[in-house]
Amino acid sequence: MTFDFYKYQGTGNDFVMIDDRSQTFPASDQALLERICHRRFGVGADGLILLQNDPNYDFRMVYFNADGAEGSMCGNGGRCIVRFAHDLGLFEKETRFMAVDGEHTAVVSDDEIFLKMSNVSGIENRGGLTFLNTGSPHVVQFVDDLESLDVVAEGRAIRYGARFQPGGTNVNFAQLIDEHTLYVRTYERGVEDETYSCGTGVTAVALVAYQQLGMVEPVSIRTMGGNLRVSFDPTSKEQFENIYLIGPAKRVFTGLITV
């Protein structure tokens, strides 16, 4: 059986996209999904995303981590599937779609995608680490010298730490660049490595920066893969609405997968 696939990236966070509106893709085959995402023996990606029909929305986003397991919300993946749906002609400028964490809306504006994220309520202190859920679980830690930090070793230790079991957490390290800008590096669970960018991660960093550093929105974020912005309406120090993840999403190439 052969399937068309489409490779997209959002600030270096890359994904294999499948138009699965016919629901014929063997999504239950975790080993196949992991092999497709493998950077030596497959297409290579941080995750695989199915675009499916939904009777109440323009489409449904089904996201799988690079290990082949279905994942929680992926912000950069959300922006990429919006670009994919736009390329397929499913909408003109504004869209509503369903993801694992509920309804999302988005706007396409030239090269940028404005993706509305889920509301956030609650920023916790877990043993000295700041934890919150922005559609996926995240730890945020501010550091002074991010360039020299061993993100994989430090991130893995936190990701598998007892205080975040059984599911574990993503881990973001952030450094203040100026009063409006942060540099962020992320260790992602499911990928089990540092990625070039993480959408739910930079969203988490922006909200914590508002709470702990007094930064005003929109917060500019630099990642290894490019620049993002996060805007939001704080209703308190720990509750946020109208959160938007803003940045580019582009098609890289297309091809065929035979399974």
Dump pLDDT digits (tens) for 152-178: 999 999 999 999 999 999 999 999 999
For residues 214 and 128, state if they share a domain: yes
pLDDT at position 259: 82
Could you say which of 51, 74, 85, 209 is catalytic? Answer: 74
Predicted confidence (pLDDT) at residue 219 exceeds the cutoff of 90: yes
Contact predicate 221/184, CB 8 Å: yes
Contact predicate 118/87, CB 8 Å: no
Dump pLDDT digits (tens) for 108-128: 999 999 999 999 999 999 999
Dump pLDDT digits (tens) for 47-99: 999 999 999 999 999 999 999 999 999 999 999 999 999 999 999 999 999 99
pLDDT at position 199: 97
Q: How confident is the model at residue 237 (pLDDT cuts 50, 70, 90)?
A: confident
Contact predicate 202/224, CB 8 Å: no
For residues 63 and 136, state if they share a domain: no
Boundaries of domain holding 172: 120-247
Round to whole Å and give the CA distance between 210 and 232: 10
Q: How confident is the model at residue 136 (pLDDT cuts 50, 70, 90)?
A: very high
For residues 125 and 46, state if they share a domain: no
Question: Amino acid letter at 206?
Answer: A
For residues 83 and 127, state if they share a domain: no
37 catalytic, yes or no? no
For residues 124 and 145, state if they share a domain: yes
Round to whole Å and give the CA distance between 60 and 46: 19
For residues 135 and 188, state if they share a domain: yes
Could you say which of 198, 221, 228, 246 is catalytic? Answer: 198
Predicted confidence (pLDDT) at residue 43 exceeds the cutoff of 90: yes
Burial of 176 (0-12, 13-18, 19+ CB in 10 A): middle
Number of domains in the chain: 2
Dump pLDDT digits (tens) for 1-15: 899 999 999 999 999
For residues 108 and 142, state if they share a domain: no
Contact predicate 194/163, CB 8 Å: no
* Secondary structure (DSSP) of 34-78: HHHH-TTTSS--SEEEEEE--TTSSEEEEEEETTSSB-S--HHHH
Q: 0.85 cut: is pTM over it? A: yes
Instruction: Tell me the CATH number at 198.
Output: 3.10.310.10
80 catalytic, yes or no? no
For residues 150 and 231, state if they share a domain: yes
- Residue 116 main-chain phi, psi, to 5 deg: -80, 125
Q: Which residues of 121-133 are buried (b: 16+ CB within 10 A; e: fewer)?
A: eebeeeeebbbbb
